[in-house]
């Protein structure tokens, strides 16, 4: 049965609903597509699945029904999803084991010293294609990535961000900081005084003597940005996936939080670096071949982890 266009959840690039189609010639009525569809677009109709386009939220094209159907009886089109996006899963034995994954996590460090070699574009693309499997709020993904590629381009970008930091130095005047603190949360004012101001002032000074304390002379900087429709977490989740993907490819990374603060305040820089005006930069990450490997791991803990 073919669905008709119905209601839709808008995202930056998804302004029409998805369209699930069920091939009843293949369907065994197992009911799994009904169970996974939490938009309630596929409903049970006397033991058979039925597409009800205007039900619930409308099809968000999450693809869950297409992925769960062992008979290949469901196809979904729309919101950037096509049946060609459905592929056979790798055999379980080819997936990373918990031990392998934990070892990768344990070996990862934030890398701020890079070899004098630029990761080639196909390697960056491979990493991004791996990271694109990150969960997204409402499909299709509203996260975009800008890869600033090559030492010179990254330094030009660093110079632009440091330019914005220079403006912030007016807060080093205690009177100005006290005045602006009235409009900030206590923790924001403390962070400005004790971290952002001293850190950015160090970066400015270092840059004048040819040292990059912002992007650490990295060969690649990745900017994860997202549309106003996205969940604020989406870009950072994608960036975290990118970090792990890069690690598995032998690349070193470090998230750089201060970049987004600066970039989101500067329309001109967003335009210059290819970030749509309406989008917010959620996270920046530097990447390159590490200059050296760490000899030992560091055990980390959450601030708390409790069962209730
Ligand atoms: C959201 C976020 C922002 C970060 N921003 C910066 C940054 O601006 N500069 C930097 O040198 N490191 C930055 N880091 C890296 C952290 O300092 C690093 O993760 C932490 O020191 C722990 O080290 P590890 O990643 O090697 O375990 C950031 C990390 C996160 C998660
Ligand atoms: S998952 Fe596939 S086989 Fe099962 S009910 Fe849905 S369409 Fe039919
Ligand atoms: S793609 Fe997702 S929302 Fe659309 S019908 Fe399938 S499970 Fe439901």
What pLDDT sits at residue 28? 98
**Which of 105, 65, 102, 103 has its CA nearest to residue 81?**
65
Q: Following CA atoms 104, 99, 70, 62 in sequence, which dihedral angle do they give, to the nearest 10 degrees?
A: -40
Residues 58 and 138 occupy one common structural domain: no
Residue spans of alpha helices (H) in the chain: 32-36, 64-68, 98-107, 121-131, 151-168, 174-181, 186-191, 197-208, 234-248, 257-263, 267-272
Residues 272, 133, single domain; the answer is yes
Residue 44 structure tokens: 């049970």
The predicted pLDDT at position 118 comes to 98
Instruction: Give the model's pLDDT for residue 3.
Output: 41
44 inside domain: yes
What is the band of 183 on the pLDDT scale with cuts at 50, 70, 90? Answer: confident
Owner of token pair 């119905």: 6
pLDDT at 172: 78
Whole-angstrom distance, CA of residue 149 vs CA of residue 160: 15
- Band of residue 1 on the pLDDT scale cut at 50, 70, 90: very low
Ligand 3 mean position to 118 CA, how many Å?
A: 41
- Answer whether 76 contacts ligand 3 (Cβ < 6 A): yes
Whole-number average pLDDT of the chain: 93
Task: Please give the pLDDT value at position 6.
Answer: 59
What tens digit of pLDDT does each residue of 84-126 get? 999 999 999 999 999 999 999 999 999 999 999 999 999 999 9
Residues with CB under 6 A from ligand 2: 22, 27-33, 49, 68-69, 71, 73-74
* Domain of residue 72, CATH code: 3.30.70.20
User: Could you write out the three-class secondary structure of 16-27?
Assistant: CCCEEEECCCCC
Tell how far the Cα of 38 is from the centroid of ligand 2, in angstroms: 15
Q: Does residue 4 sit within a domain? A: no
Q: Name the residue of 6, 56, 64 to mutate for ligand 3: max ligand atoms within 8 A of Cβ.
A: 64
CATH assignment at residue 245: 3.40.109.10
pTM of the model: 0.92
Whether 298 is covered by a domain: the verdict is no
Domain edge (last residue) among 51, 85, 119: 85
CA distance 259 to 197: 14
Indicate whether 51 pLDDT > 70: yes
Position 295 in a domain: no
Whether 12 is in a domain gets the answer no
Question: How many structural domains comprise the chain?
Answer: 2
pLDDT band at 175 (very low <50, low <70, confident <90, very high): confident
Whether residue 5 is contained in a domain is answered as no
| Domain hosting residue 42, numbered range | 19-85
**pLDDT recorded at residue 265:** 92
Token pair recorded at residue 74: 């469901």
The predicted pLDDT at position 252 comes to: 98
18-27 residues labelled b (16+ CB within 10 A) or e (exposed): bbbebeeeeb
Pair (197, 67) in one structural domain: no
Q: What is the pLDDT of residues 234-292, one digit of tens each?
A: 999 999 999 999 999 999 999 999 999 999 999 999 999 999 999 999 999 999 999 99
Max CA-CA distance within the chain?
A: 75
Q: Are residues 257 and 121 in the same domain?
A: yes
- 92: CA distance to ligand 2 center in Å? 23
Residues 67 and 106 in one domain: no
Share above pLDDT 70 across residues of the chain, in percent, rounded to a whole number: 98
Q: Residue 80: inside a domain, yes or no?
A: yes
Q: Which ligand is nearest to the CA of 300?
A: 1
Ligand 1: centre distance to CA 255 (Å): 5
Which protein residue has the closest C-alpha to ligand 3 atom 2? 62
pLDDT for 139-155, tens place per residue? 889 999 999 999 999 99
Same domain, 81 and 113: no
Residues 36 and 136 in one domain: no
281 alpha carbon – ligand 1 mean position (Å): 17
Any ligand 3 atom below 6 A from CB of 36: yes
pLDDT of 79 strictly over 50 = yes
Average confidence (pLDDT) over 229-236: 94
- Inside any domain, residue 306: no
Tell me: do 232 and 152 sit in the same domain.
yes
> 259 and 134 in one domain?
yes
Confidence of residue 5 (pLDDT cuts 50, 70, 90): low
């Amino acid at each position: 049965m073919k669905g008709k266009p119905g209601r839709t959840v808008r995202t930056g690039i998804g302004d029409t609903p998805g369209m699930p189609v069920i091939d009843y010639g293949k369907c065994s009525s197992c009911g799994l597509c009904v169970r996974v569809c939490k938009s309630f677009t596929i409903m049970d109709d006397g033991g058979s699945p039925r597409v009800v386009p205007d039900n619930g939220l409308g099809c968000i094209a999450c693809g869950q029904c297409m992925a769960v159907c062992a008979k290949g009886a469901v196809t979904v089109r729309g919101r950037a999803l096509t049946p060609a996006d459905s592929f056979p899963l790798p055999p379980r034995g080819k997936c990373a084991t918990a031990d392998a994954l934990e070892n990768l996590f344990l070996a990862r460090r934030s890398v701020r010293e890079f070899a004098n070699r630029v990761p080639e574009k196909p390697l960056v693309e491979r990493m991004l294609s791996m990271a694109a499997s990150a969960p997204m709020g409402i499909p299709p993904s509203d996260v975009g990535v800008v890869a600033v590629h090559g030492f010179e381009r990254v330094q030009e970008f660093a110079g632009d961000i440091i330019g914005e930091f220079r403006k912030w130095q007016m807060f080093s005047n205690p009177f100005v900081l006290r005045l602006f603190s009235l409009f900030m949360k206590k923790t924001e004012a403390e962070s400005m005084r004790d971290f952002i101001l001293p850190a950015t002032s160090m970066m400015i000074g270092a840059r004048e003597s040819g040292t990059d304390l912002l992007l650490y002379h990295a060969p690649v900087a990745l900017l994860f940005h997202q549309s106003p429709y996205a969940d604020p977490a989406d870009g950072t989740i994608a960036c975290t996936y990118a970090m792990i993907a890069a690690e598995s490819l032998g690349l070193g990374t470090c998230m750089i939080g201060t970049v987004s603060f600066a970039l989101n305040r500067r329309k001109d820089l967003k335009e210059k670096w290819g970030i749509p005006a309406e989008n917010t930069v959620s996270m920046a990450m530097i990447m390159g071949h590490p200059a050296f490997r760490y000899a030992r791991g560091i055990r980390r803990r959450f601030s708390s982890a409790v069962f209730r």
